Structure 1
Amino acid sequence: MQTADPSASANTLIEQKLRRFVEHLTGGTVTSMQRLPRWRPAWNLDVEKGAETIPLHIRGDRGGDVSPFPELRREADILRLLGEQGIPVPRIYGFCEDPQAIVMQRVAGVRDVSMAASDEERRSVARQYVKAMAAMHQLPLEPFAKQGIRLPRGADDITLAGLEAYYPLYARNKTQPQPLAEFAAGWLRRNVPRHRTKAAFVQYDSGQFLFENGKVNSLYDFEFAMIGDPLADLASARMRDNYEPLGERFSELYRYYQEVTGEPADPAVVRYHTVLFATVSTLQFSATVATPQPGDPHDTYIEFDIALRRVVVHALAEAMGIAIETPALDIVTHGPNAALLAMLADAVEQLEVHGEFQQSKRRAVSKIVEYLGRADAMALRLQRLDQQEVETLLGRRFDDNGQIDAALEAFVKQAGPEYDEPLLRLFMAQIERRVRVFGSTAIGASASHINLPPIEPR
């Protein structure tokens, strides 16, 4: 007898609740409902109301404790405020409490700028996005403060708004030492640009927009939005350009932003915020890899973790004027469990799954198995090299590899700025070796393509 899949039953119940909510909200009938193959729950729906078909999108709660602003309603309120003030964002239809979800307009368009009709259109789209971002930065802050968005004051408070929002999440979930994260956080606190005293409403995870026929229809994803330094949005868009190109050279968009706003944008501050955004993103996902929870999108979190750590190192090197160095490493591709891992990979491929969503789940497992194969071959070698370098820097020996990160984190927390370069070179060697090992896997591909675009023309 075949046993019912409890997760499938739970998903069916969730979709039934959402369907009923949408029909009550709109007074129409849901004629189609498609779960999107994303790492967080999301659906596209069509609702018929008389002769009208209403295209909707549902953004569900991502689950887990990985957000500094876990209240999904907060994002719905922000989108509503932005729309009221003329910023192109999806219209909010309503908010479902059980299960928690935002019901919003399904905006026409795509994010992939390679689908633009021409280079001219692609550049136009990029400038439209920058213009919309600049308009958002000019909005009055009072409506957001009244909605409960924290209003920072003074250079430290404004500049470090993102770090102070994310750090409690990191500290609450921390289960293992995180020496790189602590080093980056300490560097950021010691190097605040004191002249940045004007706050703005920022998307924070910026560079996300939809366009169609040469027109930007919407900015989207305001889950991490806050009030802070507007140059934080330029920095996070710059990071996104690595894997989701903006459509024009970042240096040109940086120049255009200054033209639109009429205000200078200090490149050193953009570099600083590149470090900051990469750091808080690393803080956000550090515990999901150190202590994974059932139901997490594990392949996605591993991918985020290795890529973001590499960005932290590259951004710090850029800000400190230190060249990236890739250490020599002999790569072995097969470990002692290679045969068993080959069997596991084959067993996963033999699983019969139906529908795009379940197929995406199987692909996720296959990616983890591939990653595990590289770890089986090289993890001990990487640990030995890390240990040798930490022992040299700290001037002490370790009998237990498990003691190393704790000792290194303790050193980082008390070390003065004279150790910034030696510590950065240590972390650089660690992450660059890991990218050498894992960069050709599906999970490691993002990390292997890290290349921060120039801020100013060369």
Structure 2
Amino acid sequence: MSTTPDVAGDPVEAKLRTFVEGLLGGQITAMQRLLRWRPAWNVELQRGGETLQLHIRGERGGDVSPFPELRREADILTLLGKQGVPVPRIYGFCEDPQAIVMQLVPGSRDVKTAKDDAERKSVSRQWIDAIARMHYLPLQPFLNQGISLPKNAEEITLAGLEAYYPLYARNKTRAQPLAEFALGWLRRNVPQHRATPGFVQYDSGQFLFENGKVHGLYDFEFAMIGDPLADLASARMRDNYEPLGDKFADLYRYYQQVTGQPADPDVVRYHTALFATVSTMQFSASIATPQPGDPHDIYTEFDIALRRVVVHALAEAMGVALETPGLEIVSNGPNAQLLTMLNDALTQVEVASEFQQTKLRAVSKLVEYLGRGDAMELRLRELELQEAQVLLDRTFNRWEDIDEALESFVKSAGPEYDKPLLRLFMEQIERRVLVYGSTAIGGSASHIDLPPVE
């Protein structure tokens, strides 16, 4: 491990070094900023003949979290560790800059690194054992930490939605008809029998393993008290791009064995739609009104992929067949030559730092995405305008007016419009995946395939 050239001497890193050495004693001998959009470092500290391997988790930045206080996550991890859940040990919390100093858990999340299928299945079941233990922890320690306790079936089921909604409403800058449609359906179809809350990670399926053993669950930024099946649903979504190690249906059956709970597949499907919806809400303002410094390529990737999951999950829950519309794809638009020049200019930019190279790749991904938009966006908008006019029985002069009209309609429409509206949104997102799905940003959306629950 070494210090990357681009962060050596950086004032933020200097403060973190001073804090860690003051907290734990000893001397930092290596500090490496991870090549990801969120600030994070792996650190090696020498102290009295021992070597401590540490991880520093920095603030996400921006206004995209329902629980923005990073200390909240540190406190949750401390509580979980005290109660026997395998999570990183927390050493301390830095106030300036805000960051969690924790144990560097050994291992990988990539189950392809397991030696064979037997090890992959064992690892995935160890993860189930860990979340099942977490779901049945006493709740009082979390309540003492200020975490809200939902009191009935509706509050338990909608705990995640109610946590994310203030963020969505506060930052909303333009109409969001798909999100509002999903919100309406979710509120009208709450399972009324899920009356026992548990502590949930809420962005589940994140664990590190090595030599066949799970060493820790990680990322509790969105953890709360709610319906334990929400964790199964979010892990089910994650299985698309981070496989869990075994078939989801088999893991859900194992969860039932461990917990003694009966199968409830419709609720898992419901929570899949709910988690996809709140995740879409989380980043909707970042796409509608991009802010300086945002990881624009990442948020755009999240947006198109999550919107497709919302549609697929609602279709599954409603029993509506998925359909792929026909669309003639054109490769080049009116700005093709200019975009070629821009791509060429980017290839000529030389960046020595590996970290800054990630920034340059992000720009390249956005330019590629823009090229598809230059070729096809006007055609997509034309088709969306035509379909909205048919469904709403009115004429639009501008594509920009469609979302406002659709949002107004979905807020007042009865359940009899659920399937026609879903089919409209399905047409919209599936066409966009046809256009953008082969790009680096759109690749995640093109591989959405919810695994069977049973």
- Which stretches in structure 1 are left out of the alignment for 5+ residues? 1-7
2:193 is matched by which residue type in structure 1? H
Calculate the TM-score normalised by the size of structure 2: 0.98
Please identify runs of 4+ aligned residues in structure 1 that moved more than 2 A.
8-11
The DSSP-based 3-state class of the residue aligned with 2:322 is coil
Q: Are the counterparts in 2 of residues 90 and 106 from structure 1 also a CA contact under 8 Å?
A: yes
Counterpart residue number, 1:144? 142
Counterpart residue number, 2:231? 233
The DSSP-based 3-state class of the residue aligned with 1:19 is helix
Counterpart residue number, 2:291? 293
Deviates more, 1:320-329 or 1:350-359: 350-359
Equivalent runs, 1:12-411 vs 2, <5 Å: 12-411=10-409
Counterpart residue number, 1:441? 439
**Quick one: percent identity of the two aligned structures?**
74
TM-aligned CA distance change 1:437 to 1:11, over 3 Å: farther
Superposed displacement of residue 265, structure 1: 3.3
TM-aligned CA distance change 1:210 to 1:179, over 3 Å: same
- Which stretches in structure 2 are left out of the alignment for 5+ residues? 1-5
1:387 is matched by which residue type in structure 2? L
Q: Are the counterparts in 1 of residues 7 and 13 from structure 2 also a CA contact under 8 Å?
A: no
Q: Are the counterparts in 1 of residues 200 and 230 from structure 2 also a CA contact under 8 Å?
A: yes
Superposed displacement of residue 95, structure 1: 0.2
Q: Are the counterparts in 2 of residues 34 and 43 from structure 1 also a CA contact under 8 Å?
A: yes
In 2, the alpha carbon distance for the partners of 1:46 and 1:447 equals: 37
Counterpart of 2:420 (choices 399, 419, 422) is 422
In 1, the alpha carbon distance for the partners of 2:352 and 2:131 equals: 41
Q: Are the counterparts in 1 of residues 57 and 99 from structure 2 also a CA contact under 8 Å?
A: yes
In 1, the alpha carbon distance for the partners of 2:72 and 2:8 equals: 26
Calculate the TM-score normalised by the size of structure 1: 0.97
Superposed displacement of residue 354, structure 1: 1.6
In 1, the alpha carbon distance for the partners of 2:277 and 2:148 equals: 21
Q: Are the counterparts in 2 of residues 231 and 265 from structure 1 also a CA contact under 8 Å?
A: no
Q: Deviations over 1:352-410 (max 9, x none)?
A: 11222111111111000000000000000000000000000000001122111000000
In 1, the alpha carbon distance for the partners of 2:347 and 2:453 equals: 44
Aligned residues: 449
1:246 is matched by which residue type in structure 2? L
1:330 is matched by which residue type in structure 2? E
Superposed displacement of residue 11, structure 1: 8.0
In 1, the alpha carbon distance for the partners of 2:71 and 2:279 equals: 22
2:72 is matched by which residue type in structure 1? R
Deviates more, 1:394-403 or 1:300-309: 394-403
The DSSP-based 3-state class of the residue aligned with 1:175 is coil
2:421 is matched by which residue type in structure 1? L
Superposed displacement of residue 57, structure 1: 0.2
Counterpart residue number, 1:4? none
RMSD: 0.9
1:112 is matched by which residue type in structure 2? D
In 2, the alpha carbon distance for the partners of 1:454 and 1:315 equals: 11
Deviates more, 1:10-19 or 1:344-353: 10-19
Superposed displacement of residue 9, structure 1: 8.2
Q: Are the counterparts in 1 of residues 265 and 453 from structure 2 also a CA contact under 8 Å?
A: yes
Q: Are the counterparts in 1 of residues 172 and 285 from structure 2 also a CA contact under 8 Å?
A: yes
